[in-house]
Amino acid sequence: MKRLLLFVPVLILSLLVLSCKDKDKEETPGPTEKSKILVNYPWRMSTVTDLSGKDISENQLSVDTRYIKQMDIQFQQNARVNALDQKSSQVINGGTWYLINEDKTLDIKIIGFAGEFGLEELTNSKMRLKSKMPVNGVEQEAIMVFQPVIK
């Protein structure tokens, strides 16, 4: 009986130590594969297409969309995003970015380029963002195609 009474506290102590082990791990989630690709290079809008992949001519796009084509979008690891002038690389505007909805949506908050964009494709050579935008004055879904800027 004495052996059993000695064994019970040792068993309880062992269980407590094992159960507390996982609680001590307060790891910060690491970057996802998509976020690593985003921060590799600045991104430049090359075209805007309709949902079937047909290019939309620049004169059919709104002034805001045409203005975005003149910028490079630079995503940083600290969830900051900068809009850079393509010629001087000077920061024109800045804000924040987050991948949400299991990395299927890119949430960008920059003045003039804000919203939740469907992340249709993201590779080291191309990013495609789906969004509603005015085309010929009519709001419709379109795909903004971006290429990395390698200098």
Pairing verdict, β 113-122 and 105-110: antiparallel
Phi (first) and psi of residue 133, to 5 degrees: -150, 155
> E strand or H helix at 131, and its extent?
strand 127-135
Residue 12 tokens read as: 């309880």
| 33-148 CATH pick, 3.30.365.10, 2.60.40.1150, 2.40.128.540, 3.40.190.10 | 2.40.128.540
d(CA 12, CA 52): 64
> Exposed/middle/buried for 51, CB within 10 Å: 0-12, 13-18, 19+?
exposed
Q: Where are the domains of the chain?
A: 33-148
Q: pLDDT (tens digit, 0 to 9) for every residue of the chain, 151 residues total?
A: 555 555 555 556 565 555 665 544 555 556 678 999 999 999 999 999 999 999 999 999 999 889 889 999 999 999 999 999 999 999 999 999 999 999 999 999 988 778 999 999 999 999 999 999 999 989 999 999 999 998 7
